Each structure stands twice: as C-alpha cells, then as structure tokens.
C-alpha cells in the first residue's frame, strides 16, 4: 500500500494555490473543479504547470477540510479569481508514496502516521499530498501514486 517511509528535506517551491474550506464529505465535489480552475489560470499566464498537482491541508480536522489545491509554477502567478501566488516552504519532512485509488488514502495516511509517530521528531499541524499519477494516467488505480508528506518542526 505505501512505500517504506523516510525522513528527508523538501525544497522551497513557488506555487499557485486556490484555498478551499469544505465539510469532509464534500471534498470529492470540489477537488476536480478547483484543479481545473487552477490549471486554467497557470496555463493562461504561461507559468505552469511546472510539476504535479497537490493539496496542502492546514490542519487535521475530522469534520472540515481546510486546504489549498496547488501546482508548482515557473514564476509567481498573478492573482486571478480564487487563484493566488503561494510558496511551499523548505522543510524537513516525513514522506512516503501510496499506490492505489483515492478511496484508500485514509488507510494509507493511517499507516504512514503510525510510522511517523514512532520517530523521534515533532510534527507540524499541516500536511500535503502530491498526485504523482492518477486517473489521467489510466483507469487502473493500482498504478496511481500519491506522495504523502508530513512536515516536521525544527
């Protein structure tokens, strides 16, 4: 389900983001349209995409998702509609890659966080997922890959 987790450094990245706050059960309805809106803006401005799409969650909450969908860009995006310039700061992180359909992400996060909690590190409240490959790469979910990242406190 997940690759062997590791502790590593994540570089700073210039990104374009679109912030969303939605009840947990509404995430499936908002993700696709938000990514489409984001990609339309960065493509129209000629600054991206310069990497894989991601979602940066500001905190874990059992009822509400408070997060940004984003994509790396080659230069700061000019604000347009809900799309804003952003930055994923450099950080020490725990990371792994989950292989499978999106319905298995909850279990993958559970397994990953169980591992992170055994490490002698302090964790930040935020986390992100980078969608390395998904439905656009084929209909077989076993080939989909999502990077799971938990930033660590300094």
What would the pLDDT profile of 41-71 be if each residue is shown by its tens digit?
999 999 999 999 999 999 878 899 999 999 9
pLDDT at 128: 95
DSSP string, 107-124: HHHHHHHHHHTTSS--B-
* Residues forming a β-bridge with 69: 18, 55
How do the domains of the chain map onto residue ranges? 6-151
What per-residue confidence (pLDDT) applies to 144?
95
pLDDT tens-place string over residues 3-51? 999 999 999 999 999 999 999 889 889 999 999 999 999 999 999 999 9
pLDDT tens digits for range 70-124: 999 999 999 999 999 999 989 999 999 999 999 999 999 999 999 999 999 999 9
Max CA pair span of the chain: 45
**pLDDT for 59:** 80
Beta strand extents in the chain (DSSP E only): 6-10, 13-23, 54-57, 64-72, 83-88, 91-99, 127-133, 145-151
What's the pLDDT score for residue 60?
A: 76
For residue 154, pLDDT over 80 is answered with no
Top pLDDT among 72 and 142 is at 72
Report the CATH fold assignment for 6-151: Multidrug-efflux Transporter 1 Regulator Bmrr; Chain A (3.20.80)
Residue 135 has a pLDDT of: 83
Whole-model pTM: value is: 0.94
């Amino acid at each position: 389900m997940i690759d062997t987790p590791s502790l590593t450094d994540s570089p700073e990245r210039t990104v374009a983001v679109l912030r969303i706050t939605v009840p947990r059960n509404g995430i499936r309805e908002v993700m696709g349209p938000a990514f489409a809106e984001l990609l339309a803006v960065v493509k129209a401005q000629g600054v991206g995409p310069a990497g894989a799409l991601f979602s940066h969650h500001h905190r874990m909450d059992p009822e509400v998702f408070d997060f940004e969908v984003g994509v790396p860009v080659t230069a700061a995006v000019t604000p347009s509609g809900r799309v804003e310039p952003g930055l994923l700061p450099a950080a020490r992180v725990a990371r792994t890659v989950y292989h499978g359909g999106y319905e298995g992400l909850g279990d993958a996060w559970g397994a990953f966080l169980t591992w992170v909690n055994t490490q002698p590190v302090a964790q930040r409240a935020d986390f992100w997922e980078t969608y390395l490959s998904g439905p656009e790469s084929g209909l077989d979910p076993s080939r989909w890959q999502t990077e799971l990242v938990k930033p660590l406190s300094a």
